[in-house]
Amino acid sequence: MRKTVFCLLLALSLLVGCRTSPPEETSRDKSAVTIVMPPDSEPEAGFDPVFGWGAGEHAHEPLIQSTLTVTNPDLTIGYDLAASMEASGDGLTWTVRIREEVEFTDGTALTAADVAFTYNAARDACSVTDLTMLDRAEAVDDTTVVFHMTRPFSVWPYTMATLGIVPKDTYDPAVYGANPVGSGRYILKQWDRGQQVILEANSGYYGEQPKMKRVNILFMEESAALLAVQAGRADLAYTSAAYCDRTVDGFSLLSVRTVDNRGVNLPLPEFTADNNIRQAINMGIDRQAMIDNVLNGYGAPAYSVCDNMPWYNPVLAEVEFDRERAGALLDEAGWLPGEDGIREMWSFGRAELTIHYPAGDFLRQALAAELSNQLRELGIQADPKGVDWETIYGEAWRTPTIWGWGAHTPMDMYGIYHSGNMYGYSNSALDAWMDEALACTDLELSYTLWQKAQEEIAKDTLFVWLVNVDHLYWVRDGLHVAEQKLHPHGHGWSIVNNVDQWSWK
Amino acid sequence: MKNRRKSTLLLVIFAALALCLVALAGALMASGAGIADFTRKNLPPGWGHLFGTDWMGRDMLGRTLAGLSLSIRIGALTALLSGGLSLALGTACAVFGGWVDGCISWIVDLVMGIPHILLIILISVACGRGFWGVTLGVVLSHWTSLARLVREETLQLWQAPYIRMARQLGASQGEVFRKHLAPHLFPQFLTGVILQFPHAILHEASVTFLGFGLSPEQPAIGVILSESMGYLATGRWWLALFPGLSLVLVTALFAGVGERMRLLLAPASAQE
C-alpha cells in the first residue's frame, strides 16, 4: 500500500514537473541562437556544394560558401561574389566578373580559377544540381570566368545562386563534406552526425559581419521539437498546423509565406482526358475551405507552381470557386449524376479516381481526404491511397497524386509542363513559349515569356494547384527573425538563409 | 473437475461471441471509418465519439473496430492456412520419413532460425505489402513450431503398439490416420491453431506499425498506433490509448481461450 502511494506521488510529481514553465534564463548570449530542424534536413553528403549542399529540391543559401549570385527578397537576382554578368547574343556563353579580395577561411584568395573548378567538378559529380546545360567553365583571368553552355539557358543566374564555391587547391571530395572551407558568412565549427551542427561567424567575411555569431542547429522529429521548445532548449523550432493549437509560454508562432505548394495532377488517360472536365474540377475546388480544414488557416490558395515569383502570371488566379458552374460544365461534357450521386457516362462508366499520396506524409494524406470530400460534392468519387514513391512516379501518368513543388527557379514549371514530363502531357504552344524563354538572353524579358507560357497553362489544365503551405515556427519572445523571402518547397534550411541578420531584443 | 469445463465453456462462448461481434461491427463500419470530416477534428472522447476523433475528424471508435475486425480476419485466415500447412508437412515428415523428413525438418530449422518479425517484413515487402503481403508473411513464418509438434506427436504414435498392430492387421494408411491418429492429434492441433491467433494479430499490427504492412488508408490497428505517435506530445492521448487497449484485450481473449482449451483437451490435465 505504501508502495502504491509512493508510486502515485512520484507519478504526480512527474506530471506537475511537466507543467512547470521553462526555467528563467539567467544571462542569454545575445549573439547565439539555437534552431531545430527536421532530421532529413541534415545533409547526408555533408556541406559540399559539389555534391548538392544548398542545391536541389530544397534549395537554400549554403552559408558556409559564397555563391556568385543570390536571390533578392522579391526573388529577382542580386550579386554575391559576382560583380557583373553578361550573356552572349546566342546565349551560349555567360561571362561573369567576380569581386576581388575575397578570401577562403584558410587564408587563400578566391579567384576565377576556384569558380571554374567548382562548376566543372559539380557538373562531373552529377548530383542534384542540374548542370547538363554547362559544357565547361573557364577562368580567363583572376576575376573573370566564362561559362560555355551546350544550349541557351536564360535562367542560369538562378543556378548560380545555389552553387557555393569551393577552393580548387585544397578541395578533396573525401573530406570536404565534413570539413568544408568556404568564403561564406559562417564556418562549420562542429558537426555531430544525427544530432547537431554548430556554425560560427566567419570573422574574415568580405560583407557585413553577421550579428549572430553562433548558430546551433539541432535535428529532431516534430514532436521532439515541440518538447524542446517547451523545455526552453531551443530558440526557434519548426512545427506544423497539427501542433499549432498549443501555446507555449515565452514563445509565439511565426508563420512564413511560401511557394511550397501542393497540387494534384489530373491524368490524361482517365475520364479527365477532356480539358473541360479538368477545368471544371479546377473551379470546383474550394481552396479556402481546404486551408481552413487541413492547415488550420495557415496557408494561401495556390493557382500555379510559382505563385508570386517574378515569372508568375496572375491570370492563373482568375479561377472563381463556383461549384454550380463546375457542375454545369460536367453536365455539358456528358457526365450526369447517377443514383448514388456519382457521375456516369454510359460509354466510359463511372467518374472514379484514385488519389495517391506518399505514405507517412500526414499533410498530404489530409489534403487527399479533403480533396476527395470536395470531389464527391462535384459527383466524382476519389479514393485516397498511400503508396511509396516508386509507385507514385511509376503511375503518375494515370493516377492523380498530391505533389509538392515550389522552387526559386522557373525550371520547376519547365519540368512539369514541357514535353517529356512524367504525366505524358504535351502542348506545343506551351513548349514553344518555354523554349523561347530559355533561349532568351535577357532575364527580365524571359520573365514575360514564362508568363506567356502560363497563359497557355490557364487554357489547358494539367494540374489543379491547391494550397501554398505556410511554414510555421515556434520563436522565443525577443528573437527578431529577419524578413523572409517566400520559402521554397522544404521546411528546413530556408529559414536560416539570413540568420546573420537576426537579433535579440 | 466440472467447474473448469463449465467456466471454460462459458469463456469460450463469451469470447467467441465478443470476437464475432467485433469482427462483424468492424466489417460493417469499415467503409465509414475512413471518411474524413474536418468539422469534428481532434475531439476528445465524449458521448458522440466514445473514442474521440483524430486530426482528420475520423471517428476513432469506428476506426478501432474496423481495425480489430481486419486483424481478426487476418488472424483467422493466417491461423487456418498456417495450421493446414503445419498439419500437412508435420504428418508428411512422420509418415514418409527419410529424405522427406530431412528436407522438411531442414526448412523448419531454417525458418525458425530467422527472427519472426524480420521474416514477415521480408515476405510482406516481397509480396507488395497490403493484405496479402501481411497474410503470407505471417502464414509462412508461423507454421514451423506447430509442424514440429505434429511431426513429433505423429512419430511417437506411429511407433505405438496399437497402431503397429492395426497396420499389421492390414489397415490402410488413411484408415490408421483417420481412426487412430486424428483423435490424438486433434486437441494439440486445435490449441496450436487458436494460439496462433494472438501471434498473427500482434505481428500484423507490428509490421503495419513499422510501415511494412497494410497501407495507411486502411483501418488497421498498426496504422492507428503509428499515426498516434506523432500526436502524443500534443496531449491527444486517446488516439493511442483506446486502440492499444482494445488490441491488448482481443489478443488476451484469444490467448486465454487457447490456454483454457489446452488444459481441457490435453490428456494430462483434462481430468484435473
- Domain end residue (candidates: A106, A141, A174): A174
Query: What pLDDT shows up at residue A488?
Result: 93
Q: Indicate if the pLDDT at residue A5 is higher than 60.
A: no
B178 DSSP assignment = I
Range of the domain at A346: 261-469
Give yes or no for a contact between A379 and A342, defined as CB atoms under 8 angstroms apart.
yes
- Measuring CA to CA, how many Å separate A409 from each of A104, A157, A457, A462, B29? 28, 9, 18, 20, 48
Query: What pLDDT shows up at residue B177?
Result: 80
Say yes or no: B234 contacts chain A, CB-CB below 8 A: yes
Say yes or no: B126 contacts chain A, CB-CB below 8 A: no
- CB atoms B55 and A366 under 8 Å: yes
Query: What pLDDT shows up at residue B270?
Result: 65
The C-alpha cell 504535351 sits at A426
Query: What pLDDT shows up at residue B159?
Result: 84
Q: Indicate if the pLDDT at residue A72 is higher than 80.
A: yes
Looking up residue B129, the CATH number of its domain turns out to be 1.10.3720.10
Query: What pLDDT shows up at residue A401?
Result: 96
Identify whether residues A367 and A449 lie together within a single domain. Answer: yes
Identify whether residues A274 and A403 lie together within a single domain. Answer: yes
Alpha-carbon span A84 to A97, nearest angstrom: 5
Residue A299 belongs to some domain of the structure? yes
Residues of chain A contacting residue B227, judged by C-beta atoms under 8 Å apart: 362
Chain B nearest C-alpha distance from A359 (Å): 6
Give the residue-averaged pLDDT of B189-199: 86
Chain A nearest C-alpha distance from B248 (Å): 23
Residue B202 belongs to some domain of the structure? yes
Query: What's the structural domain count of chain B?
Result: 1
Identify whether residues A218 and A351 lie together within a single domain. Answer: no
SS3 letters across A266-314: CCCCCHHHCHHHHHHHHHCCCHHHHHHHHCCCCEEECCCCCCCCCCCCH
- CB atoms B55 and A222 under 8 Å: no
Quick one: which of B77, B29, B83, B87 has its CA closest to B201?
Answer: B77
Q: Indicate if the pLDDT at residue B155 is higher than 70.
A: yes
Residues of chain B contacting residue A372, judged by C-beta atoms under 8 Å apart: 36
Identify whether residues A301 and A202 lie together within a single domain. Answer: no
Tens digit of pLDDT for each residue in B26-52?
Answer: 888 877 777 888 888 888 898 888 898
Residue A188 belongs to some domain of the structure? no
Residue B269 belongs to some domain of the structure? no
Looking up residue A65, the CATH number of its domain turns out to be 3.40.190.10
A129 DSSP assignment = S
Residue A208 belongs to some domain of the structure? yes
Query: What pLDDT shows up at residue B257?
Result: 84
pLDDT band at B190 (very low <50, low <70, confident <90, very high): confident
Mean pLDDT across chain B, nearest whole number?
86
pLDDT band at A109 (very low <50, low <70, confident <90, very high): very high
Give the residue-averaged pLDDT of A258-269: 94
Better pLDDT: B68 or A10: B68
Query: What pLDDT shows up at residue A446?
Result: 94
Least confident of A2-6, A55-59, B150-154: A2-6
* Nearest CB partner across the interface for A386, out of B42, B55, B217: B217
pLDDT band at A14 (very low <50, low <70, confident <90, very high): very low
Q: Indicate if the pLDDT at residue A82 is higher than 50.
A: yes
The identity of residue A307, as a single letter, is D
Alpha-carbon span A215 to A469, nearest angstrom: 26
Identify whether residues A320 and A407 lie together within a single domain. Answer: yes
Phi and psi at residue A404, to the nearest 5°: -125, 120
- CB atoms A386 and B229 under 8 Å: no
Grid cell listed for A398: 494515370
Identify whether residues A89 and A160 lie together within a single domain. Answer: yes
Give the residue-averaged pLDDT of A447-466: 95
- CB atoms A386 and B227 under 8 Å: no
- CB atoms A360 and B216 under 8 Å: yes
Say yes or no: A107 contacts chain B, CB-CB below 8 A: no
Chain A nearest C-alpha distance from B20 (Å): 28
- Which is it for the CA torsion A456, A457, A458, A461, positive or negative? positive
Phi and psi at residue A6, to the nearest 5°: -60, -45
Q: Indicate if the pLDDT at residue A331 is higher than 90.
A: yes
Identify whether residues A112 and A167 lie together within a single domain. Answer: yes
Q: Indicate if the pLDDT at residue A17 is higher than 80.
A: no
Residues of chain A contacting residue B36, judged by C-beta atoms under 8 Å apart: 366, 369-370, 372-373
Q: Which long-range contacts (CB under 8 A, 24 or more apart) does A167-176 make?
A: A167/A104, A167/A106, A167/A108, A167/A110, A167/A114, A168/A113, A168/A114, A168/A117, A168/A118, A169/A108, A170/A106, A170/A108, A171/A50, A171/A117, A171/A121, A173/A48, A173/A50, A173/A51, A173/A121, A173/A125, A176/A46, A176/A48, A176/A50
Say yes or no: A372 contacts chain B, CB-CB below 8 A: yes
Identify whether residues A380 and A330 lie together within a single domain. Answer: yes
Residue B46 belongs to some domain of the structure? no
* Nearest CB partner across the interface for A369, out of B42, B56, B235: B56
* Nearest CB partner across the interface for B38, out of A224, A293, A384: A293
Range of the domain at B24: 10-29+59-227+236-263
Residues of chain A contacting residue B234, judged by C-beta atoms under 8 Å apart: 223, 226, 242-243, 245-246
> b/e for A321-338, b at 16 or more Cβ within 10 A?
eeeeebbebbeebbbeee
- CB atoms A242 and B36 under 8 Å: no
The residues, any chain, with a CB within 8 Å of residue A332's CB and separated by 6 or more, are A276
Q: Beta strand pairing status for A93-98 and A402-405?
A: unpaired
Say yes or no: B38 contacts chain A, CB-CB below 8 A: yes
Give yes or no for a contact between A405 and A416, defined as CB atoms under 8 angstroms apart.
yes
Residue A302 belongs to some domain of the structure? yes
Q: How far is CA A367 from the centre of its chain?
A: 18
Query: What pLDDT shows up at residue A19?
Result: 46
Least confident of A178-182, A204-208, B122-126, B166-170: B166-170
Can you list the positions of beta strands (E) in A43-185?
69-71, 77-79, 82-87, 93-98, 134-141, 144-149
Residues of chain A with pLDDT > 70: what percent? Answer: 95
Q: Indicate if the pLDDT at residue A20 is higher than 70.
A: no
Q: Indicate if the pLDDT at residue A178 is higher than 70.
A: yes
Say yes or no: A376 contacts chain B, CB-CB below 8 A: no
- Which is it for the CA torsion A351, A354, A357, A363, positive or negative? positive
Residue B52 belongs to some domain of the structure? no
Residues of chain B contacting residue A294, judged by C-beta atoms under 8 Å apart: 38
Say yes or no: B231 contacts chain A, CB-CB below 8 A: yes
Give the residue-averaged pLDDT of A478-482: 94
Query: What pLDDT shows up at residue A108?
Result: 93
Alpha-carbon span A352 to A261, nearest angstrom: 25
- Is residue A91 left, alpha or beta, with left meaning phi > 0 and alpha meaning psi from -120 to 50? left
Query: What's the structural domain count of chain A?
Result: 3
Identify whether residues A447 and A340 lie together within a single domain. Answer: yes
- Measuring CA to CA, how many Å separate A359 from each of A391, B54, B213? 11, 17, 12
Alpha-carbon span A314 to A319, nearest angstrom: 10
pLDDT band at A151 (very low <50, low <70, confident <90, very high): very high
Grid cell listed for B265: 483437451
SS3 content of chain A, % helix, strand, coil (to 5): 30, 25, 45
Better pLDDT: A9 or A362: A362
Q: Coil, strand or helix: which one is A162?
A: coil
Residue B69 belongs to some domain of the structure? yes
Quick one: which of A113, A166, A190, A101 has its CA closest to A144?
Answer: A113
Say yes or no: A39 contacts chain B, CB-CB below 8 A: no
- Measuring CA to CA, how many Å separate A197 from each of A33, A39, A55, A396, A474? 12, 12, 18, 37, 19
Q: How many CB atoms lie within 10 A of CB A428?
A: 8
| pTM value > 0.95 | no
Looking up residue A321, the CATH number of its domain turns out to be 3.10.105.10
Q: Indicate if the pLDDT at residue B175 is higher than 90.
A: no
Q: Indicate if the pLDDT at residue B3 is higher than 90.
A: no
Residue A183 belongs to some domain of the structure? no
- CB atoms A365 and B56 under 8 Å: yes
Query: What pLDDT shows up at residue A1?
Result: 43
Alpha-carbon span A231 to A229, nearest angstrom: 5
- CB atoms A372 and B232 under 8 Å: no
Alpha-carbon span A356 to A353, nearest angstrom: 10
Identify whether residues A153 and A170 lie together within a single domain. Answer: yes
Identify whether residues A275 and A422 lie together within a single domain. Answer: yes
Mean pLDDT across chain A, nearest whole number?
90
Residues of chain A contacting residue B55, judged by C-beta atoms under 8 Å apart: 242, 362, 366
Q: Indicate if the pLDDT at residue A23 is higher than 70.
A: no
Give yes or no for a contact between A488 and A55, defined as CB atoms under 8 angstroms apart.
no
Give the residue-averaged pLDDT of A133-138: 94
Chain B nearest C-alpha distance from A458 (Å): 30
Q: Indicate if the pLDDT at residue A210 is higher than 60.
A: yes
pLDDT band at A494 (very low <50, low <70, confident <90, very high): very high
Tens digit of pLDDT for each residue in A48-62?
Answer: 999 989 887 778 999
First-to-final CA distance of chain B? 6
CB proximity under 8 Å: A 341-360 to B? 359-360
Identify whether residues A22 and A88 lie together within a single domain. Answer: no
